[in-house]
Structure 1
Amino acid sequence: MKKLDVAIIGGGPGGSTCGAFLRKYKPSLNVGIFEREVFPRDHIGESQLPVIGAILQELGVWEKIEAADFPIKIGATYRWGKSDDLWDFHFLPNGVFHDEPRPAKYEGQRLETAFQVDRAIYDEILLDHARELGCEVSEATAVREVFRDGDRITGLKLANGEDVEARHYVDASGHAGILRRSMGVGIEEPSALRNVAFWDYWQNAEWAVTLGVGGTRIQVMSVGYGWLWFIPLGPTRTSIGFVCPADYYKKSGKRPEELYMQALQDDSRLRGLVQNAEREGKFATTKDWSFVSERMTGENWILVGEAAGFADPILSAGLSLTHTSAREAAFTLLELDRKGDAKWLKGEYDARNRRRVLQHIKFADYWYSANQHFSDLKEYTREIARDAGLDLDAENAFQWLGTGGFIEEDIGVGGFGTVSFNALQQIANRLSDAPSQSAVDGFNGFVLDFEGAKKIQVPHYEAGKVHAVPAYQRDGKILPLNGLLAWVVKALEHSPRIEGALGYLAHTLPKVGIPFDPMVHGGVLETLEAMLRDGWVVGRRYKTGEALVGNVPRENSFIQSNHDDQLPEDRVAAALRK
């Protein structure tokens, strides 16, 4: 009988991240990770978002990941929406990535970029890091049986016949959901999306664009019956996949590989990039059905990553959701060991992670239903819109997306899942015919409105601890008083007039080490927009004082028409002329 403090099922990024954080902040814990496969092994889910960088840095593994020389993701290029014109989503202003040597530190422009990772290499680095921190890692070790007593897990039976007993259990087994299924926890499938994915790896495909040392954008290209991803993973290796509705695949009469190659030939941009490339012959398939677990915690167990929920890959959010939930699960377990309020800790973990997955599922519904390139899937996209109750007018779609609130608890500003508020508006304008309008336009005052709101506490996860942060809750929406949100509330308490509130922030923030620069100023206006739409402030038009002009331009420094035929400095000049 092996006895542990924490038993983790699954050695992918969810399991290794959770285990490594547990050992980082409490080295005395006996943590076991049980992985059924032997690393390295391939896995899809290679395209990351910038939020992961901070987690890798905190985990102490940034330098190892950076040394692996993965391509630096500075954004994405899309053929998606109303026209055939390509458009870019930049992580850096105007997509300008300054040339710098690698490996680089987690600072400067690298705070805003992400990686495109070869999962065979990436996952092994993370698992080895967890092992170096003291986790007991067992590869080629599947869990065959879960023993339970009511909602409590009493032990595990491994494939080698060994029994394991632990105080806490973590399900990081991905779609297999070993603990989730064993505990009889159901899933919700709130979306009409029922897709399948086909993919292979290619050698010597050309990159669509190269920026600086290792910088590039992934490619997301629509065809009439689905979409393709193109993700460079290294100097010579590229992941190329195709996603389409399961029903379309079944009715096509084609084999998966045949449909995959047809889609690649039907897209002129990607067809050119693979003209001189060769497939590795590792063709694989899976179903991409979005779901969320009905609950993510139990008496002595917790779910992380895709064991807890999965959202369509169109948003590249899979690894972000996995790393984030694994970090919060580890901090929750550490706080439970400090005799923290178990009901509150588990309830908050469950609520915020369900909310994250549901947000991304909802956003994916919008992306699919608004894509006019799906000429062969018109009934399919109409079904998605009907099922979601979605009007494709941008303003109505925007409000529909925000029914759960536009305030992002994780970062204390206005946002939606892993997308900033302003970016969400820009995307809505790209995908819809009638543009979204700024809610702050024409107001020069914002009066706080907490009538009928309940004072609650929400968690803030930091340095291995879970801190209770004051917040307001009303009609299912939450206003946490942390980060920039807390400062905006203080400023409006000082003066509801915009010039007075901005003056207060300009005077106060530098005193606490926060420069009131254009980025912070923009964040304040973005936060005001989110608070206004969520009902936390009421707009006023005072007789004196200049009103805000809240235009939502079609293009800004982060979302632009594609100009890969121009040099970076030409793109900046073109953006400034708009």
Structure 2
Amino acid sequence: MNNALPQDDVQVDVAIIGAGPAGAIASALLTRAGRSVLVLERQHFPRFSIGESLLPQSMAYLEEAGMLQAVVEAGFQYKNGAAFVSGDKTSTFDFRDKHSEGWGTTYQVERAVFDEVLIRRAAEQGAQVRFGHTVQAIETGDAPKLDVSDEAGNRYRVHARFVLDASGFGRVLPRLLDLERPTGMPTRAALFSHVLDALPAGSMDRNKICVAIHPERRDVWYWMIPLANGRTSVGCVADASFLDVPEAAREATLRELMRGEPTVAKRFGDAPFLMPVRQIGGYAANVERLHGPGYALLGNAGEFLDPVFSSGVTIALRSAHMAAHALLRQFDGERVDWMADYDVPLRKGIDTFRAFVERWYTGELQDIIFYEQQTPSIRRMICAVLAGYAWDETNPYVADPERRLNTLHEVCTMD
């Protein structure tokens, strides 16, 4: 996908920083509309990334970007819901039985493969993609400019009509422009790996992510994400201090944690790790604004909450979709108010997820999820948010999530 290494300045309609899902979707939507796009990616693909359990709403964005067939044919693990486990209690949500209209199924993916499928499809549709190229500086404004270097040390300048930052946890523009702001989210960390999945057929519903709660600490939880080809992604998320261990102790720590939760222990307590145990921490991030003169921030480059409800890729794709369509209107001569047309509506869904995440860690949402007398209509509303439909304001738990969840928790905990 790389062109010959450039020595001269480059002129494009849109420069996109990052070739992950947000960058791939945005570049495809823009090139399909006839706009010139250059994607600049510091790393080389395939490369590992977290965020392996997609949500159904993502499928609509993949479809519109001309990527759905490639994703379906890649052979990923089918997904139709989520299961939650706490001791001997289980609560299962089927994403096809939800309040909101739209896709009810999706996939659980190895991100190294998934991300490469998307960016290759974007390139096939006309996006220019350069791997191993790093953005060093930006001049913002009506005609933004990027200073870029390749791995040989060659430097060049990209002139664009607009810049989209889809750099994910790299957060290129927030760093270069000092946009970082406190998140208000506690500092958490995760230990994770892939394990060999040798479970007997039928012993686990492979079509659902499973989230298990630590037997003694409600703020510590595990993910189990069945993948294709005999692998399962297993991780533990907790307060950063709980997982503050040296690199040499990561494998033993994760193994001990896996053996300490009954469901995880039964399935994978002694399953061989298929890659080194990894750790990420301090991943929650935020900025004051998701846009500025001549640029907008997509997905994790703008804000990341927490992995518990697998919202990261959905937010990334939603932001790419919204920004690309706003840009196309702007290029067609329409005046776009980036605060009203992009920032505020995107944050509406993020804030819905935030309300759910915050109440997960206080235990309130866990009380709701495991409540034995759930009302079917309310359950479908909760399920819709878990399926990624956090922007559907026909759902009361999207229109007013904090008040609705607080009231529902009171009902679920009445003696």
Length-normalised TM-score, structure 2? 0.82
Distance 1:217 1:314 in 2: 14
Match of 1:92 among 92, 96, 101: 96
**Cα deviation 1:21-49 (Å, max 9, x = unaligned):** 1011x22x210001111111111101111
SS at match of 1:5: strand
Match of 1:126 among 118, 125, 134: 118
Q: CA deviation at 1:130?
A: 0.6
Q: Which position in structure 2 is the counterpart of 1:61?
A: 67
Alignment gaps of 5+ in structure 1: 95-108, 375-393, 399-407, 436-578
Q: Structure 1 residues 217, 322: closer, same or farther in 2, change over 3 A?
A: same
**Structure 2 contact 21–317 (Cα < 8 Å) conserved:** yes
Q: Which position in structure 2 is the counterpart of 1:433?
A: 413
Q: Which position in structure 2 is the counterpart of 1:248?
A: 242
Equivalent AA in structure 2 for residue 121 of structure 1: V
Match of 1:206 among 182, 186, 199: 199
Q: Structure 1 residues 207, 220: closer, same or farther in 2, change over 3 A?
A: farther
SS at match of 1:355: helix
Match of 1:312 among 300, 306, 313: 306
Matched, 1:23 2:31: yes
**Structure 1 contact 76–219 (Cα < 8 Å) conserved:** yes
Q: CA deviation at 1:416?
A: 3.9
Q: Which position in structure 1 is the counterpart of 2:83?
A: 77
Matched, 1:270 2:278: no
**Cα deviation 1:415-442 (Å, max 9, x = unaligned):** 445x998xx869955995239xxxxxxx
Equivalent AA in structure 2 for residue 354 of structure 1: R
Distance 2:406 2:67 in 1: 34
SS at match of 1:339: coil
**Cα deviation 1:441-465 (Å, max 9, x = unaligned):** xxxxxxxxxxxxxxxxxxxxxxxxx
Q: Following superposition of structure 1 onto structure 2, how do residues 129-278 of structure 1 map, counting pairs within 5 Å?
A: 129-143=121-135, 145-148=136-139, 153-159=144-150, 160-191=154-185, 193-206=186-199, 216-223=207-214, 224-225=216-217, 226-250=220-244, 255-274=249-268, 277-278=271-272
**Structure 1 contact 209–216 (Cα < 8 Å) conserved:** no
Q: CA deviation at 1:56?
A: 1.3
Match of 1:411 among 371, 375, 392: 392
Distance 2:279 2:307 in 1: 14
Q: Which position in structure 2 is the counterpart of 1:10?
A: 18
SS at match of 1:55: helix
Distance 1:116 1:199 in 2: 16
Distance 1:210 1:110 in 2: 30
**Structure 1 contact 16–130 (Cα < 8 Å) conserved:** yes
**Cα deviation 1:239-273 (Å, max 9, x = unaligned):** 11111101223499993333211110112222222
**Cα deviation 1:369-413 (Å, max 9, x = unaligned):** 016999xxxxxxxxxxxxxxxxxxx9xxx9xxxxxxxxx894351
- Supply the RMSD in Å over aligned alpha carbons: 3.4
Flag the structure with more relative contact order, 1 or 2, with Cα contacts below 8 A and sequence separation at least 6.
2
Q: Structure 1 residues 307, 313: closer, same or farther in 2, change over 3 A?
A: same
Distance 2:334 2:203 in 1: 49
Length-normalised TM-score, structure 1? 0.60
**Structure 1 contact 197–288 (Cα < 8 Å) conserved:** no
Equivalent AA in structure 2 for residue 135 of structure 1: A
Matched, 1:364 2:357: yes
Percent identity for Structure 1 against Structure 2: 27
**Structure 1 contact 77–86 (Cα < 8 Å) conserved:** yes
Equivalent AA in structure 2 for residue 218 of structure 1: I
**Structure 2 contact 291–338 (Cα < 8 Å) conserved:** no
Q: Structure 1 residues 195, 254: closer, same or farther in 2, change over 3 A?
A: farther
Q: CA deviation at 1:333?
A: 0.9
Q: Which position in structure 2 is the counterpart of 1:280?
A: 274
Q: Structure 1 residues 134, 254: closer, same or farther in 2, change over 3 A?
A: closer
Q: Structure 1 residues 426, 219: closer, same or farther in 2, change over 3 A?
A: farther
Q: Structure 1 residues 434, 183: closer, same or farther in 2, change over 3 A?
A: same
**Structure 1 contact 305–326 (Cα < 8 Å) conserved:** yes
Equivalent AA in structure 2 for residue 131 of structure 1: A
Question: Which segments of structure 1 move beyond 4 Å, counting only runs of 4 or more?
Answer: 149-152, 207-211, 251-254, 371-374, 424-432
Larger radius of gyration: 1
Q: CA deviation at 1:131?
A: 0.1
Q: CA deviation at 1:335?
A: 0.9
Q: Structure 1 residues 426, 49: closer, same or farther in 2, change over 3 A?
A: farther
Q: CA deviation at 1:315?
A: 1.1
**Structure 1 contact 221–228 (Cα < 8 Å) conserved:** yes
